[in-house]
A and B are shown apart, each in its own frame.
Chain A
Amino acid sequence: MAVRKKDGLEYDHNNDGVDRRGFLKCMAWAGTGALCVMQGGVLKSFSLSQMSQMGSKPTSASELSFVQISDSHMGFNKPANPDVAGTLKAAVDKVNALATPPEFMLHTGDISHLSKPEEFDTVDQILKSATPKDIFYVPGEHDMLNDDGKQFLERYGKGSKGAGWCSFDKKGVHFIGLVNVLNLKAGGLGTLGHEQLEWMEDDVKHLKHSTPIVVFAHIPLWSVYPEWGWGTEDSAQALAYLKKFGSVTVLNGHIHQIMQKVEGNVTFHTAASTAFPQPQPGEADSPGPMKVPAEQLRSVLGITDVNYVRGQHALAVVDSTLA
């Protein structure tokens, strides 16, 4: 199929990373079947009809490939998706079918809907069939209900600090998992808190500026839509610690839709849910689950595949739907 030029949007940037002042916003709404690829400082937005043209190009030369899944909301059974186990299984199938097998997975929270043990059990069981065996989790607010996250920590927090924050290195990329769903204040947004911020400052202090950084957390670390609580009060402080790095990729969930923004050296990205979509900011009375016709549901759910190519400025972030 021929690629029509007008289907593609291309933005060129300097490849210097740190000094770029350009503000770039690319919102790839899952509902429109678009996706964004960030590679080498060039952001490309594709319509899904172009996916076959891309093939495995972004992954072919990659040194590190991993997958992000988010918001599986196991236990949710309302009309927006009466079978969240089925769509999570479809997400796992998608992961297992990726051209480059991912080395591990990140789950950016809301594993469960109501923090019930059986909900976590079901997710664990389904994820067992995923090819990547290592899975790193950060909690969503739905995983910390009634016990301030005690159960989450017992299940997924091995080796983590505080309320579940963690860091690790994979092939030269430094990963930082943050918790911004605890101790929320009336009228406020997501919160990292002083203790976690101090830990983070210390965690990145000794890293070289050339180290690619990946930060993952549930609630977006940028102000997506504060009116719906889609942002984190003290994220600016966290990002200040990352200013010196040439490449920072921030992966979030929570808003159940794909969104991307590039600001200076930081690429912000939110993943689709594997359970149900939520409306675009301000496009509904509330951010509650959005009902779409059953045959369209899988086209608004998805997984996010991330690839790191050594020497490239930014990581390639590719979203694909479950359709």
Chain B
Amino acid sequence: MRSSVPSVALIAALGIVFMAIGTMRRGLIARAQSKPESTAVNIDNFSFGPATLTVPIGTTVTWTNRDDIPHTAVSTDGAFKSKVMDTDEQFSFTFRKAGTFPYFCSIHPKMTGKVVVQ
């Protein structure tokens, strides 16, 4: 009777290990198959869309200004800084480090967004 307690624990532990492996495999397969969901940020009506963009390391993000007024995309910590984008002009930046990169339009500072690099 005393030995049954360890066996139950062992089975449970094995179960957890298998489940964990399964989850990891699914994760790996998903990562290998998926492309970054979006690498584009559009500027419409004085706002960045999406306001938060999550991308893998190495992704090039392109901002496009679709307003009638010029805008910029400037990282608050100096990681990147676009020139002024007039209507339909673009700016691209490749994120080679993981982290969260908040940015704003230096002409209209109420416009803010962030890129999360994983």
A141 to B68, CA, bound (A): 15
Q: From A191, which residue of chain B is reached at the shortest CB distance?
A: B109
CA distance A146 to B106 in the complex (A): 10
Question: Would A142 and B109 be within 8 Å (CB), given that A78-B87, A186-B104, A287-B46 are in contact?
Answer: no
The answer to whether A288 touches B84 (Cβ under 8 A) is no
Judge whether A289 and B68 touch: CB under 8 Å.
Answer: yes
Seed contacts A188-B110, A288-B46; 11 additional CB < 8 Å A-B pairs: A146-B83, A146-B84, A185-B109, A186-B102, A187-B110, A189-B109, A226-B110, A229-B110, A286-B45, A288-B67, A288-B68
Q: Classify chain B: how many residues form its interface, as a range.
A: 20 to 34
Interface of A with B (CB < 8 Å)?
Answer: 78-80, 113-115, 141-142, 145-146, 184-189, 226-229, 285-289
Q: Does B64 contact A (CB under 8 A)?
A: no
Task: Please name all residues of chain A whose beta carbon is closer than 8 Å to the beta carbon of B83 when the two chains form the complex.
Answer: 146
- Contact B110–A114 (Cβ < 8 Å): no
Q: Which residue of A is nearest B103, CB measured?
A: A186
Given contacts A286-B47, A288-B45, A288-B46, contact A145 B110 (CB under 8 A): no
Contact residue among B69, B84, B104, B108 (Cβ-Cβ distance under 8 Å from A289): B69
Give residues of chain B (71-118) contacting chain A, Cβ–Cβ below 8 Å.
76, 83-84, 86-87, 102-104, 106-110, 112
Task: Decide yes or no whether B49 CB sits under 8 A from chain A.
Answer: no
Nearest B residue to A289 by beta-carbon distance?
B68
- Is the pair B109, A229 in contact by a Cβ cutoff of 8 Å? yes
B56 within 8 A of A: no
